[in-house]
Structure 1
Amino acid sequence: MLAQNVTITADLSLEQPEVLVGLLLAHILADFYFQPYAWLQERNERHALALPLYLHTLLHGILAAGAMLLLTQNVNGWTLGVSAIVIAVSHFKIDVIKSYCAQSTKAFIADQFAHILILVAVFLYATNQWEVAIHLFKKLSVEHLAVILAYLAVLKPSSIIIKQLLSPWSSEVLATRPSPKHPNDPPTISTEAQQTLSLAGQRIGYLERTLMLTFVLLNQFSAIGFLIAAKSIFRFGDLTKHQDRKLTEYVLLGTFTSVALTMAVGLACGAVLGSIPVK
């Protein structure tokens, strides 16, 4: 083994983190820099029969073994071989499964999460630190859970709350959208475009509230002001073009509702962490 009889210390810190960093670096290089787009296309078309997929997984195994050799002094040949084989074989199976899935963000995140989970498991096996990892997991405190809960709360739950709070005015704003000045002019916003903009707006809201919560937890309230100002500048042109006071009020109401919810969640989380910036 790379590390025999690892002692669980008081601070429960993992040893040899450079090995894990090296495995992650090898993964990024092999998956994103050393994999031509043509390989991806053939994998998605031929799945497990694609020759480039075998070359790709072999490259992952070689780079992972190289990283472990370079970043450790006393490496056990058996451990090195098992680690490289597990990484290569698991990568092959995960990529085959992904080749049958739609090329979406969810599929990409699930794919990368599975690969990283395997790399962490290989790292714990190679350094013999399973017991330390289990103890670290058990050391999760209420502070850690509060931060996780806060970030989850400002995503979908907040979106639903904002949508429900704005529902009395939503139909009114949509009903008064400007109509084309000439019969031959295309509609201002088609049904398909409305759906696309709705999804884009949802993602923007997620990012906006995630950034604001991060700034609150870091006590960087001035950055929140900069974020709101930047959003206002980008929205100014759209609102001016439509010259719709109801739409302007609707957007402002949604923005300030989002800010208020995120601030409330952030301050509540700060109270749990014992770092409320407001005395």
Structure 2
Amino acid sequence: MITDASNVTMITPTFMHSELLIGLLLAHLLADFYFQPYSWVEQRNERHARALPLYFHALIHGVLAIIALALLSPSINMVTIGISALILVVSHFIIDVVKSHCAQNITAFVVDQIAHIVVILGVFLYATNQWREAVGLLQHVGVPHLVVVLAYLAVLKPSSIIIKQLLSPWSGEVLANKPTSSHPNDPPTISTEAQQTLSLAGQRIGYLERVLMLTFVLLNQFSAIGFLIAAKSIFRFGDLTKHQDRKLTEYVLLGTFTSVAMTIAIGLACSAVLGHLPIKS
């Protein structure tokens, strides 16, 4: 008997004991952010591995992990629970010591948290013995997932560079209307340090705007995009009115609508590939 291929469906592997994974993540969240006073963080950054609070902090992670493992997955034996908790304690201590020697910025923070989460995922797979399911889940990563990742990456730095190049013919006119700095080496705007800060802030705002707009397009929530643009317009209205600079106003509007148009186009292209364009025939 030959099985009809059209009736065969691919089953995506699912994890058992998902409540345990949530419990381990919750334990990490509590220990890292709620049960760690700022004074402990300061001592860790100053004394590194010699900071006594760092040992207490790692032990708290171990205790909460044992509680999560024991309560949320009773079938796991005590040896496995002990080894899992020990892995979390030692890894957390090492990762935090390494972080204490790094610059205390957002990059170090994100890398630190990713490292902790990777260890937690590894402990979860070890405790539940679901390595095969994890590999099977990775094998199910396909074109739709990669298209969404590509879309989000496209609306970040590539879009920022394209928008800057598209607006470059008018950038000179806008800067020409700004007061000249008292220092001969400074650009004809405000101080160099302030300009760099504002430039980075504007870039981050643009990233967040486009990420939100792309998310709304993929969720078919175009009204939320209108709300986002309206909210930005309200915040910028006071600044533009204060400067009373028509060229600056036109420049800001041109940049905003270029960003919106580009993000919507990327979102619609992504939706077309995924097969759920917000257009009814």
TM-score range, shorter chain: over 0.9
The SS at the match of 2:89 is helix
Residues in 1 aligned to 2:171 and 2:98: alpha-carbon distance in whole angstroms: 42
The SS at the match of 1:192 is helix
Which residue does the alignment assign to 1:148?
Answer: 149
Which residue does the alignment assign to 1:58?
Answer: 59
TM-score (norm 1): 0.92
Residue 75 of structure 1, CA deviation: 2.2
Residues in 1 aligned to 2:74 and 2:94: alpha-carbon distance in whole angstroms: 31
Which residue does the alignment assign to 1:110?
Answer: 111
Which residue does the alignment assign to 1:274?
Answer: 275
Residues in 2 aligned to 1:167 and 1:271: alpha-carbon distance in whole angstroms: 31
Q: Which has the higher contact order (CA 8 A, sep 6+)?
A: 1
After superposition, the CA RMSD in angstroms is 1.4
Which residue does the alignment assign to 2:4?
Answer: none
Q: What is the aligned length?
A: 265
TM-score (norm 2): 0.92
Which residue does the alignment assign to 1:183?
Answer: none
Residues in 1 aligned to 2:139 and 2:75: alpha-carbon distance in whole angstroms: 30
1:217-256 pair list within 5 angstroms = 217-256=218-257
Query: Unaligned stretches of 5+ in structure 1?
Result: 1-8, 181-186
Residues in 2 aligned to 1:214 and 1:63: alpha-carbon distance in whole angstroms: 35
CA offset digits 1:165-185 (Å, max 9, x no partner): 1111112211211469xxxxx
The SS at the match of 1:97 is helix
Which residue does the alignment assign to 1:216?
Answer: 217
Residues in 2 aligned to 1:189 and 1:230: alpha-carbon distance in whole angstroms: 26
Residues in 2 aligned to 1:191 and 1:244: alpha-carbon distance in whole angstroms: 22
Structure 2 residue 76 is matched with structure 1 residue 85:
no
Is contact 2:23-2:72 (8 Å) kept?
yes
The SS at the match of 1:166 is helix
Which amino acid counterpart does residue 167 of structure 1 have in structure 2? S
Residues in 2 aligned to 1:27 and 1:218: alpha-carbon distance in whole angstroms: 31
Is contact 1:178-1:242 (8 Å) kept?
no
CA offset digits 1:4-50 (Å, max 9, x no partner): xxxxx933111110000000000000000000111000000000111
